[in-house]
Structure 1
Amino acid sequence: MPSRRFARASFVGALVWCVLLWVPLAPGAGVFDLVSRLVLLAVLVAVPMLLESTCDLWDNDSLAMRLASRSVLAASLLGAAAFLAPTGMRAGVLTLGWAAFSLLVAAEGARRLLAMRREGLWRAEEVVLALGLVALPGGAAWLTMSRWGIDPGPYGPLVVLLTAIHFHYAAVIAPLWAGFLGREIRQRWTGAHLAYTVLASAVLAGTPLVALGIALSRTPAGGTAAETLGVLLLTVGAIGLGALALGLAPRMDDRWGGVFVGVSGGSLLLAMVLALWFHLGDGLGIGAPDVEWMVPRHGWLNGIGFALWGALGWRRLKPRAVPPEALAPEARRPEVNA
């Protein structure tokens, strides 16, 4: 089963990530070291674990997901090995497995979007989940460029690596997390679903605007306006979703699942408040922290607090998140007494 393969991959990946905490990584010390470890947390643990949950919520027998589930362990381990090799062609080649894997995941996301269009069943949470899958190649592309030493800006190696982590967390992990949140809200807190739809849309719109602003920052056009708007949409939307997760947590039947999701939502809220301060503090006259101060706090809140606790929480809650209409017809047939 694809879901079991993703589960095994996330378990092995977690062990490898713990071992790598004691191993020097090639990108370097300081901020580079921390960002590298957070990227590896996404590649080795968070993304495979969230994909396991998506398999159990949707049809998991598509060709793309079968191939993705068979390749995820090798792809993630090769991606981790890329951080042990010096920056250059060898390290870049090691990331190509993750890039190929990401294309399979994106193909599944595109298939699900087409199915929604064909059936006319547009639900915000399902669209968010599918778009999270579609976005993975963006993160893989920046990861490959970072380890290969390709700088398209030039932005500098740190910005390239930060863009890779931005895509993995903001464009992939956050939409998948938000999709699961929306499913639970639809079932347990229907009065909050409109607010959820608006906030999730803001996150989806903000992520590419931030990337566009970064891309334009080294051109004559400049990207300040696009990046500022993207940061506002992304941070405000994420803060709102974090607050919704905190409000939803006590409504869940599974107490520990609710605790995990509540911790995840609270961590997201705090991380995005810091991001808002970092980007807008100077403009508002309240001073903004520097990168050296910001990255450890924002990074660990996002990596451990939001992504890891969130992935664990949704993994525990996923059987309760399946809506009746997603079940196969034979699963909905009433029992017939003999």
Structure 2
Amino acid sequence: MMNLIVGISIFLCLLAFRLKDLLVLEILLGASIFVFVPLVLMLLNEKSSIYNLFLRVLYLPSAIGAALVLAFGQTYWVLIWTFFTAFICICGLGNLLKRGTRYLEEASIDIGFIYLALGGFWLLAYEAKWRVMGFDSLTILLTAIHFHYSAFVLPISAGLLGRKQMVKGRLFLFSVTMICAGPMLIAAGITYSRIIEFMSVALYAFALYVYSMLMMKTAFRSKIAKFLLSLSSISLMATISFSMIYAFGRVSDMVYLDINQMIWIHGAVNACGVVLPALAGWLIERPEASFRFRDIPMSRIKGRGQIGEGYLFRYSLVDDRQGLGLIDSLHDYQSPWFDAEAVSSAIRQFYENTGSYELSARVRWKSWFKPLAFFYRLLSTFVQQLNLPLSESRTRMGGKIYGISERKDGRESPRAWVRKNQHGETIFVAIYSKHMHNGETYMNIALPLPFSNMTGILLPRNQENGLFLSSRSRNGAYGDEGIYLALPFIKIKLPLEESFHILNKSKSELVAIHRMWIFGVEFLEIDYDIKKRD
């Protein structure tokens, strides 16, 4: 609240003493910097240290720097505001990388913060009189305002709307996706083609109409919040209609609205009729996020160059435990989603006494991915990790399990399963463990990579009398499932998914299907035959 009071005070002083020297566009820009940005930060303050840092330390000097540059035009002051928006961008990007896009409403909020940094850059370009991409100073200032207004606030408002949606249908998904992508598509159109610009504006406008209709249909706790957000939506539908008229005029070389009219219609009305009531409404309603960051246990072990079996011994990771399976007991994974007793004894034996089994595998890369798989194979052969063949011929795999030091790994009872092909080349080095959260036990599998590790968090389920393990999030449930890249300073949720389906073939034989997807598109399938050794 203090930063909002200070921001409004600075804005009023600026208007009182420098009003006659300010352009209308600079006043609109000031409204965002001194009113809307602190409103958003206050709205999304979730008592985390990073937001407290924003509110208590960074905003005030940044706002003063912005005020000085608007009042006196001294370019170097704008750097303070630019660095502030860049820091917000880094935090938004960090959240997006850690969380992934599974929670689209939260990703939309992150993207709003990322766009604000572009607003900071374009303001710097305007004050420094840079000729970016051949744009004149008016276009550069309009671009700065765009990224301080619609590109910043609308993705955040759409994300908050998503928090209110119990069921997120296709219209909502389309709307949020286009609200997030629209500013960049329109920017590309302005730069390269008026036809692309018009088509982008049309898609963006349709997405905003959908967003507005969903907003007016959504139930709210507060009638005042409902009124304010409905008012914002109605105003938005009006202003975006004028944007369509303006874009059509540009593509048809006809002037229906000139730029000065658009400044008042699209600028002033957006500030007072769209952004202000929307933020006020959300401050009253304050929808809670369904997702909460938590520190998922992950292995501390990271590779250094080549992995392979020798890596475990070079760095003294192996302990003296013997006779291990991939897990101690399948019953450890009992949950509302999984009944261990429903799984056959042969599958349980494989997981609990893995050394008694031998495997063969057929790797099938999807056709669209094969060119990438060729280059991937060159790298994996050197690293000796995730070293899958290009050929679809069946490959025999020998395996050995080693106990791994809990002290060095950091997880509970870790053990490494090293698989090699018939030529002695290492295919996988996977370190298995488990962790529990909210009454569910997950398989926690780390694959060391150079200076990092890739960790698959898989939840067991019953399916077709077999065992089904998946990193895919369940519909309507929020768990730890996912594939993560653990770097020294950040954990990133990757756009990858995988599943294993293990079934009985006979009393002594099992089959397993391992499938992987990237951005929801399947790129790999591995079929395993698993036999008990004689």
Does TM, normalized by the shorter one, top 0.5?
yes
Structure label with greater radius of gyration: 2
How much identity, in percent, do the aligned residues show? 23
After superposition, what is the alpha-carbon deviation per residue over 1:7-29, rounded to whole angstroms, capped at 9, x for unaligned? 32122212332343344458x66
Q: Determine if contact 1:17/1:44 at 8 Å carries over to the other structure.
A: yes
Correspondence for 1:276 among 244, 256, 271:
244
Do 1:78 and 1:97's aligned partners in 2 also have CA atoms closer than 8 Å?
yes
Deviation at 1:245? 1.9
Q: TM-score, normalised by structure 2?
A: 0.52
1:21 and 1:242 map into 2 onto residues whose CA distance is 32
For the pair 1:103 / 2:86, whether they are aligned, the reply is yes
Instruction: State the match for 1:67 in structure 2.
Output: 53
- Find out whether 1:82 has 2:69 as its counterpart: yes
1:234 aligns with 2:221: no
AA aligned opposite 1:83: L
Letter in 2 for 1:39: L
Note if 1:203 corresponds to 2:179: yes
Identify if the C-alpha distance between structure 1 residues 328 and 259 changes in structure 2 by more than 3 Å, giving closer, same or farther: farther
Partner residue in 2 for 1:50: 40
Offset of 1:104 from its aligned partner? 1.6
Residue 245 (structure 1) aligns with: 215
CA distance in 1, matches of 2:86, 2:220: 34
Cα distance in structure 2, aligned partners of 1:11 and 1:312:
15
Tell me how far apart the structure 2 counterparts of residues 213 and 80 of structure 1 sit (CA, whole Å).
32
Question: Contact (CA 8 Å) 1:202, 1:234: kept in 2 or not?
Answer: yes
8 Å CA contact retained: 2:103, 2:291 = no
Counterpart CA distance in 1 for 2:102 and 2:263 is 37
Output the CA distance in 1 between the equivalents of 2:226 and 2:294.
27
Question: How far off is 1:283 after superposition?
Answer: 5.1
Match of residue 141 from structure 2: 161
Residue 162 of structure 2 is matched in structure 1 by 182
- 1:141 aligns with one of 118, 121, 129: 121
- What letter is aligned with 1:195? L
Please, which runs of 5 or more residues in structure 1 have no aligned partner? 1-6, 217-221, 333-338
Q: TM-score, structure 1 length as denominator?
A: 0.79
In the alignment, is the contact (CA less than 8 A) between 1:79 and 1:95 conserved in 2?
yes
CA displacement, residues 84-117 of structure 1 (integer Å, 9 cap, x when unaligned): 113xxx2x21111111111221121122112213
Structure 2 residue corresponding to 1:304, chosen from 256, 267, 272: 272
Counterpart secondary structure, 2:221: coil
Residues 166-207 of structure 1, C-alpha deviation per residue, up to 9 Å, x if partnerless? 111122111111111111223xxx3x6431211111122211
Q: CA deviation at 1:140?
A: 0.1
Q: Which deviations, in whole Å up to 9, do the C-alpha atoms of 1:124-172 show, x marking residues without a partner?
A: 2111011111222111000111112222233211111001011111221
Deviation at residue 311 of structure 1 after TM alignment? 1.2
Q: Which residues of structure 2 form unaligned runs of 5+?
A: 296-437, 439-534
1:128 to 91, 108, 113: 108
How far, CA to CA, are the matches of 2:195 and 2:17 in structure 1?
40
Contact 1:76 1:98 in 2 (8 A): yes
185, 189, 193: which one aligns with 1:213? 189
The one-letter code sitting in structure 1 at the alignment partner of 2:199 is L
Asked if the contact 1:44–1:77 (Cα under 8 Å) also holds between the matched residues in 2, the reply is no
8 Å CA contact 1:205–1:230 kept in 2: the answer is: no
Quick one: distance in 2 between partners of 1:176 and 1:43?
A: 16
Structure with the bigger RCO (C-alpha within 8 Å, sep 6+) is 1
Deviation at 1:274, TM superposition (A): 1.1
Deviation at 1:284, TM superposition (A): 6.8
State the partner residue of 2:518: none
Q: 1:116 aligned to 2:116?
A: no
When structure 1 is superposed on structure 2, of 34-43 and 151-160 the one drifting more is: 151-160
Name the Cα RMSD after superposition.
2.5
Shift of 1:323: 4.2
**Equivalent residue for 1:219?**
none
Write the distance in 2 (CA, Å) between the matches of 1:303 and 1:245. 18
The amino acid of 1:224's aligned partner reads: R
Aligned mates of 1:85, 1:193 — CA distance in 2: 49
For the Cα contact (< 8 Å) 1:128–1:200, is it kept in 2?
yes
What count of residue pairs does the alignment treat as equivalent?
A: 295
**Aligned partners of 1:79 and 1:97 also within 8 Å:** yes
User: Which residue identity lines up with residue 68 of structure 2 in the other structure?
Assistant: A
Q: Distance in 2 between matches of 1:145 and 1:285?
A: 28
Q: 1:246 deviation in Å?
A: 2.4
2:72 partner SS? coil
Quote the offset at 1:324 in angstroms.
5.3
Q: Distance in 1 between matches of 2:125 and 2:160?
A: 31
> Which amino acid counterpart does residue 202 of structure 1 have in structure 2?
M
Distance 1:68 1:327, change over 3 A: closer
**1:3 paired residue number:** none
Task: Give the residue type in structure 2 aligned to 1:208.
Answer: M
Work out whether residues 206 and 232 of structure 1, in 8 Å CA contact, stay in contact via their aligned partners in 2. no
| Whole-angstrom CA distance in 2 between matches of 1:289 and 1:324 | 43
Query: CA 1:262–1:104 in structure 2 vs 1: closer, same or farther (change >3 Å)?
Result: same
Q: 1:8 aligns with which of 2, 16, 19?
A: 2
What is the aligned partner in structure 2 of residue 94 from structure 1? 77
Contact 1:240 1:269 (C-alpha < 8 Å) held by counterparts:
no
Structure 1 Cα separation of the partners of residues 217 and 86 of structure 2: 35
The residue type equivalent to 1:165 in the other structure is I
1:319-330 mapped onto 2 (5 Å cutoff): 321-323=287-289, 326=292
- AA of the residue aligned to 1:185: Q
Q: CA offsets per residue over residues 52-97 of structure 1, 9 Å max, x none? A: 22223xxx4244x3432221122122212211113xxx2x211111
The structure where strand makes up a greater share of residues is: 2
